[in-house]
Amino acid sequence: MTATRARPGGGSRPAALLGALARSRELTLVAVMLVLSAFVTLRAPNFLAPDNLDQVTTLAAIFAIAAVGEALVVLTRNVDLSVESTMGLIAFIVGDVLRQQHLPVAEVWLLGLALALVLGMANGAIITLFKVPSIVVTLGTLSIYRGIVFVVANGSQVSLSDLPAGYSNPATETLAGIPYFVIVAAVIVTVFALALRYTHFGRQLYAVGSDPEAASIIGVRNGWVVFAAFSLCGLLAGVAGILWGIEFGTIYATSASGVVLQIVAAVVVGGVAIAGGSGTVVGAAIGALFLGLINNALLLLLLPQELLQAIYGAVILLAVSTDAVVRLRNRRVAQAAAR
């Protein structure tokens, strides 16, 4: 009896596709989003309307940029809970300066980004110099940065009428049919994806997250890498904060409150291991889009928005549990191979 080989294009292709989906969190998310989109479209045909998709992707782009910064931190076995207050602070500061001072918009944006970088550096410095757990430090700065916003705002708000004419136009404008915000997010994701893959700093991030002691032995300056990750996270939160102000126009002291759960959920559901050392910023960005689609689906299907918090929490638990199972399986395989 002769064995027959699987022909190219035969039954092996579905199995190969399923295997690729199982190995790649990004491909899995894309597949789930396609299924979700098909289901929601059957119930709400306007889900795929161009205006609706532009709105979903524009808002998701803001969260994707913040998620890229968060992913850099999580890769080093840390977490930054202060991203939402950084976003809110930068959004309000930029709007308030534009309201009170007749300065070029680009200069004010640079001022906001510089401040965001300083806030991220403050987090990184405290964590690396004083060896305080990042969750404790950023929980504290979450409240501090939000408190600064309330002091600066002093009960006021920035309205769209206070801002330069056309300030919010980029939120609705497109280039070749693609929203400006999506283009900005795509550029940022691409730059950091290439940096993580091809630069020495990218390899150091993964090394620190995988095994800090081993990384230190081979000459990696762990403290500097963690400091740089938090600094970049603050900078990208500043970018997201500026876009937040452009998107909503009216900016309050409470702007961006509560979004940290969505940002962290986007990172972990996108495949960045909460234990550090694995994952991609592309996955984090896709995770942001995935959660944005869920948010929009709830609106179109007239389901309670209170479900969002439960969904975000469930997504985090599911992603963390999946990573734990994968790590346990890999450890057992490695032990079996060693024996």
Q: Judge whether 58 lies within some domain.
A: yes
Rounded CA-CA distance 29/32 in Å is: 5
Confidence at residue 14, expressed as pLDDT on a 0 to 100 scale: 58
Q: Are strands 178-179 and 174-175 parallel, antiparallel or unpaired?
A: antiparallel
Helix intervals (H) in the chain: 12-23, 25-43, 50-74, 83-100, 105-130, 134-153, 180-198, 200-210, 212-217, 222-248, 260-269, 281-300, 307-338
pLDDT tens for 15-72 read 554 455 445 788 888 998 999 999 999 999 999 999 999 999 999 999 999 999 999 9
Of the two residues 317 and 68, the one the predictor is more confident about is 68
The residue whose two tokens read 């801002």 is 163
pLDDT band at 146 (very low <50, low <70, confident <90, very high): very high
Rounded CA-CA distance 128/149 in Å is: 26
Name the domain count of the chain: 1
Of the two residues 311 and 238, the one the predictor is more confident about is 238
Q: Is the pLDDT score of 172 beyond 60?
A: yes
Q: Is the pLDDT score of 7 beyond 50?
A: no
Q: Is the pLDDT score of 2 beyond 60?
A: no
pLDDT band at 4 (very low <50, low <70, confident <90, very high): very low
Region of poorest pLDDT, from 91-95, 219-223, 225-229, 300-304:
300-304
Rounded CA-CA distance 4/245 in Å is: 63
Q: Judge whether 13 lies within some domain.
A: no
Ramachandran sector of residue 302 (left: φ over 0; alpha: ψ -120 to 50; beta: rest): left
Q: Judge whether 281 lies within some domain.
A: yes
Q: Judge whether 16 lies within some domain.
A: no
Q: What is the mean pLDDT of residues 111-123?
A: 98
pLDDT band at 336 (very low <50, low <70, confident <90, very high): confident
Q: Judge whether 143 lies within some domain.
A: yes
Confidence at residue 23, expressed as pLDDT on a 0 to 100 scale: 59
| Average confidence score pLDDT of the chain | 90
Q: Is the pLDDT score of 310 beyond 70?
A: yes
Phi/psi at 158 (5° precision) = -100, 120
Range of the domain at 193: 25-338
Q: Which residues contact 214 (CB under 8 A, 6 or more apart)?
A: 207
Helix intervals (H) in 1-104: 12-23, 25-43, 50-74, 83-100
Contact of 144 with 84, CB cutoff 8 Å:
no
Rounded CA-CA distance 96/90 in Å is: 10
Contact of 240 with 113, CB cutoff 8 Å:
no
**Percent of the chain beyond pLDDT 90?**
77
Confidence at residue 330, expressed as pLDDT on a 0 to 100 scale: 72
Q: Judge whether 6 lies within some domain.
A: no
> Would you mind telling me the total number of residues written for the chain in this entry?
339
What the block records as the tokens of 62 is: 């803001």
CA distances from 30 to 156, 193, 276, 289 (A): 42, 18, 23, 10
Rounded CA-CA distance 74/72 in Å is: 6
Contact of 297 with 36, CB cutoff 8 Å:
yes
Confidence at residue 302, expressed as pLDDT on a 0 to 100 scale: 87
Q: Judge whether 2 lies within some domain.
A: no
Contact of 67 with 263, CB cutoff 8 Å:
yes
pLDDT band at 128 (very low <50, low <70, confident <90, very high): very high
Nearest 5°: the CA angle 94, 234, 293 is 85
Of the two residues 236 and 28, the one the predictor is more confident about is 236
90 CB neighbour count, 10 Å cutoff: 31
Of the two residues 138 and 331, the one the predictor is more confident about is 138
Q: Judge whether 3 lies within some domain.
A: no
Q: What is the CATH number of the domain that holds 241?
A: 1.10.3470
Q: Is the pLDDT score of 190 beyond 60?
A: yes
SS3 41: helix
